[in-house]
Copies of this chain bind each other. A is one copy, B any other.
Amino acid sequence: MDQLISELTAALGAGGVITDIDSVAGGWSRVGKPCAILRPRSTNEVSAVLRLAHAAGAPIVPWGGKTGLVDGANAEGQLALSLELMNRVEAVDVEASTLTVQAGCPLQTACEAAEARHLFLPLDLGSRGSATIGGNISTNAGGNRVLRYGMVREMVLGLEAVLADGTVVSAMSPLIKNNTGYDLKQLFIGAEGTLGVVTRATLRLRPQPLSQDVAVLGVERFEQLPRLLRHLEARLGGALSAFEVMWASFHDLVTTAPAKGRPPLDGRYPYYVLVETLGADPAADRARLEAALEAGFAEDLIADAALAGSEAQRQALWALRDDVAQVARNGPIITFDVSLAISAMESYVAELEAVLQTKWPGINLVVFGHLGDGNLHLIVGLPGAEARHPIEEVVYGLLRTRDGSISAEHGIGLQKREFLPLSRSPAEIAVMRTLKAALDPKNILNPGKIFAAA
């Protein structure tokens, strides 16, 4: 390893290799203590790093903003490849409506660069300040506006990645349509850094919305939620950009001290829905949302509603949904990120609550999520470290009969590896291994993430 590190130091120059590491702040997930942090400044330097590591058979763990939730960036004792110095916005092309960035560019920086040119990058998630575009791509990030704009996969037009042996695959076409053979960028999106290191990307931008309306709705019964969603989709003609549901358990947490939020409605409801529309005509769009909500009352889908009347009120409503940090205020937790058909959700949450309470009386379950996408976030208070695995078995086990997924958007990393066969068949996992072996035969790229070596 010493010789490899001196070769890497020669390749990356001063500041390019950090070996004096005390500990690394890793957000919500373990990133471990790497033996060195490599900080290339260009795609060529990433390629040089991988050529050297490949020759030495040394594992490389790519690092973006280290905001992942599944230990996908855990580099304990290995070489961490940080993209932090490759953080530039390279171009905003207004006429083509595209943004080209280096992979280490923080999401928020990218969004602001688009906004400065009156364009819109519709990816939005809580860790926007530190998460990087490369990490967003490698995890196929979702977030708050998937309902309308899709996940990151649908925003990537072009992508550059470096393969395990240092080969640079530059597929940076900014074209929306390009059916010229296999769409290689799809391989690297959501692969958690196991098939290549994403170094640059061209993203599709959208027109900047000229109107934004946000409302919180109180809903009495779960069965009203999918009907309300379809009602709004049909009435709002493509303008609906978020349909976020907070169970009362989540609402209570984010509206009581030390949280700064205040209850948005007078009564207390089992379900709160945050609805957002983005449009082009402020007065007409607001009237359309108001009419859709009135019809929702008339059709007995909504019990109460508060429509934000100012930018401050819009921000206050979103702040409730974004104040996820509150879920950790009462002690250790496990976070889950499952998806399943909306029709299966009510029975799933009820059965989960019942089984958890039977096994761990008094256990705390908080539920919220991107209901419009079939995605629930479940937060379970951890009664003790030894309960982690049996709780995981309950949460994931109840998905099996419901054709659910153990990860809607966070990915597999190390944390969910054991449970991957609950969501993917042996044939699927065999094809994944075939791809991994074909592209990274020495198994040096983020080895052990998603699945263990065969």
Q: Give the interface of A toward B (CB within 8 A).
A: 93, 95-97, 139-140, 142, 146, 148, 150-151, 153-154, 163, 167-171, 173-184, 186-187, 189-191, 195, 206-211, 226, 230, 233-239, 278-281, 284-285, 288, 339-343, 370, 373-375, 403-412, 416, 420, 423-425, 427-432, 434-435, 437-439, 450-451
- The distance in angstroms between the C-alpha atoms of A409 and B237, with both chains bound, is 27
A306 to chain B, nearest CB (A): 23
Knowing A237-B209, A280-B237, A438-B438, the reply to whether A173 touches B403 (Cβ < 8 A) is yes
Contacts of A278 in B (CB 8 A): 237-238
Which chain B residues lie closer than 8 Å to A374 at the CB level? 96, 175-177
Select the residue from A181, A340, A408 with max chain B CB neighbours within 10 A.
Answer: A181
Q: Is A177 touching B146 in the complex (CB atoms < 8 A)?
A: yes
Q: Are B182 and A191 in contact (CB under 8 A)?
A: yes
**Contact indicator A179/B411 (Cβ below 8 Å):** yes
Contact B184 A431 (CB under 8 A): yes
A182 to chain B, nearest CB (A): 5
Given contacts A171-B425, A184-B431, A237-B279, 18 further A-B pairs with CB under 8 A are A95-B230, A151-B177, A154-B154, A170-B425, A173-B405, A175-B405, A177-B374, A179-B405, A180-B412, A181-B424, A182-B187, A182-B191, A209-B237, A211-B237, A237-B280, A237-B285, A238-B238, A434-B439
Q: Is the CB of B234 within 8 A of A179?
A: no
Output the nearest chain B residue to A175 by Cβ-Cβ distance: B339
Which B residues lie within 8 Å of A405 (CB)?
173, 175, 177-180
Number of copies of this protein chain within its complex = 2
10 smallest beta-carbon distances between A and B, as pairs: A237-B280, A186-B186, A438-B438, A237-B279, A238-B238, A177-B408, A180-B423, A178-B405, A207-B234, A207-B233
Q: In the complex, what's the smallest C-beta–C-beta distance from A224 to chain B, in angstroms?
A: 13
Find A177's partner among B142, B173, B428, B439 (CB 8 Å cutoff).
B142
CB distance from A372 to the nearest CB of B (A): 8
- The docked-state distance in angstroms from the alpha carbon of A142 to that of B425 is 30
- Within the assembled complex, what's the spacing in Å between the Cα atoms of A97 and B229? 11
Q: A281-B288, A285-B237 are in contact. Are A169 and B427 (CB under 8 A)?
A: yes
> How many angstroms from the CA of A32 to the CA of B40 in the assembled complex?
52
Report the Cα distance A285→B170, complex, angstroms: 42
Question: Could you tell me the distance in whole angstroms from the C-beta of A254 to the nearest C-beta in chain B?
Answer: 23
Complex CA gap A450/B431 in Å reads: 22
Residue among A237, A284, A428 facing the most chain B CB atoms (10 A cut-off): A237
Residues of B within 8 A of A93 (CB): 341
**A62 nearest CB across to chain B (Å):** 16
Pairs A–B under 8 Å by Cβ, sample size 27: A93-B341, A96-B341, A96-B342, A97-B230, A148-B238, A151-B177, A153-B183, A168-B427, A169-B431, A171-B424, A171-B428, A173-B423, A174-B403, A176-B339, A177-B339, A179-B190, A179-B405, A181-B432, A182-B187, A182-B195, A186-B187, A187-B187, A207-B234, A234-B280, A238-B279, A434-B438, A437-B438
